[in-house]
Amino acid sequence: MLPAFPWDRLEPYKATALAHPDGIVDLSVGTPVDPVPQLVQDALTAAADSPGYPTVWGTPALRDALVGWAEARLGARGLTHHHVLPLVGSKELVASLPAQLGLGPGDRVAYPRLAYPTYEVGARLARAEHVVYDDPWELDPTGLRLLWLNSPSNPTGRVLTVAELRRTVAWAREHGVLLVSDECYLELGWEGAEPVSVLHQDVCDGDHRGLLAVHSLSKRSNLAGYRSAFLAGDPAVLAVLLEIRKHSGLMVPAPVQAATVAALADTAHVAEQRGRYAARREALRGALESYGFRIEHSEASLYLWATRDEPCWATVEDLAKHGVLVAPGEFYGEAGANFVRVALTATDERVRAAVQRLGG
């Protein structure tokens, strides 16, 4: 049985924020608000006349782009077309992966104590057991089939070090557990060491067995509306998933495939978008701290993990009275009960409004 959809509980607070004379500043959901890069729009338009079915595995051009980007950006080595698989957005993969892998009653799926709620949903849909961890190598491996990592973390922005990643890879291999690393925020590191992929040479020594990395273009390229994402890693596991997804018709639309190729080939728009988020992050962080918040972790990703050491719903209520909507930390696990997650995904004008309302 699935839990209640958490965002429905936020509706009364959204109504309060909407009633503010200057309108709502919605910092609750990490959905992009900036334009899709023009070169990506152009590629989509050029491929618009695509009457036939696309392939689940993607065009050779798309697979070339995925391999090239993973080697150049992730530091992966020795990849081929068999090491990559397009996705219809990353959320569908997170929600369906346990079932696609054939997990069920008696199997266990593990994910961080503070985490994206869809990891739990995926386990529940497969009727597998779900467990949380603080350090993955302290888990009981009995019946554990799937281990989720998330670095940079949603919601906390925490980044795992190379040493932590190496230790987790070694532990998972020792116990025969598939390790899947959700790295959708990897290109949004702000402080400290740059986030590193589980497929990086320094982490896995070029051995991709038992490892998958999930990536998305939603945040780096403002393509949430395009549903463009992909898996990279163990070709034996990807071959199984490819067959299942062929039977299920999980195909990325052909124009989106073309747009993805264009997006992955360009770094200028990524740097430009990073600059926007960096400025918003600095402004919101200063305003929150001046309003009495303490920011923890948040060294990467699109969020600030903030607390005033009070129940999260009290914080949500107070900010809503100022027309600012944030996500209660409880959505991401009991350990977040005194935190809120503040997204950087609002326009510059709305961020300025939030800063002004908080006395910044």
One digit per residue, the tens of pLDDT, for the chain of length 360 reads 777 787 889 999 999 999 999 999 999 999 999 999 999 999 999 999 999 999 999 999 999 999 999 999 999 999 999 999 999 999 999 999 999 999 999 999 999 999 999 999 999 999 999 999 999 999 999 999 999 999 999 999 999 999 999 999 999 999 999 999 999 999 999 998 899 999 999 999 999 999 999 999 999 999 999 999 999 999 999 999 999 999 999 999 999 999 999 999 999 999 999 999 999 999 999 999 999 999 999 999 999 999 999 999 999 999 999 999 999 999 999 999 999 999 999 999 999 999 999 986
Residues 95 and 80 in one domain: yes
Residues 11 and 73 in one domain: no
Could you count the other beta carbons within 10 Å of the beta carbon of residue 188? 22
Residues 165 and 61 in one domain: yes
Question: 244, 265, 286 — which closes off a domain?
Answer: 265
Residues 100 and 176 in one domain: yes
Euclidean distance between CA atoms 213 and 85, whole angstroms: 11
Residues 150 and 290 in one domain: no
Task: Look at the chain and report how many structural domains it folds into.
Answer: 2
Residue 342, H or E segment: strand 339-343
Euclidean distance between CA atoms 257 and 217, whole angstroms: 12
Pinpoint the alpha helices (H) of 249-299: 254-265, 268-290
Residues 143 and 52 in one domain: yes
Euclidean distance between CA atoms 325 and 341, whole angstroms: 10
Euclidean distance between CA atoms 178 and 238, whole angstroms: 12
The helix-helix angle for 90-100 and 118-125 (nearest 10°) equals 30
- The token duo for 134 is 């603080």
Question: 207, 242, 265 — which closes off a domain?
Answer: 265
Residues 81 and 191 in one domain: yes
Provide the residue type at 139 as one letter.
L
Euclidean distance between CA atoms 185 and 177, whole angstroms: 24
Residues 331 and 222 in one domain: no
Is 190 inside a domain boundary? yes
Distances, alpha carbon 85 to alpha carbons 180, 238, 240, in Å: 14, 7, 11
Residues 46 and 14 in one domain: no
**Domain boundaries, position 99:** 40-265
Residues 92 and 163 in one domain: yes
Euclidean distance between CA atoms 89 and 94, whole angstroms: 9
Q: Using CB atoms within 10 A of its CB, is residue 73 exposed (0-12), middle (13-18) or buried (19+)?
A: middle
Residues 245 and 324 in one domain: no
Is 1 inside a domain boundary? no
Residues 240 and 346 in one domain: no
Provide the residue type at 92 as one letter.
E
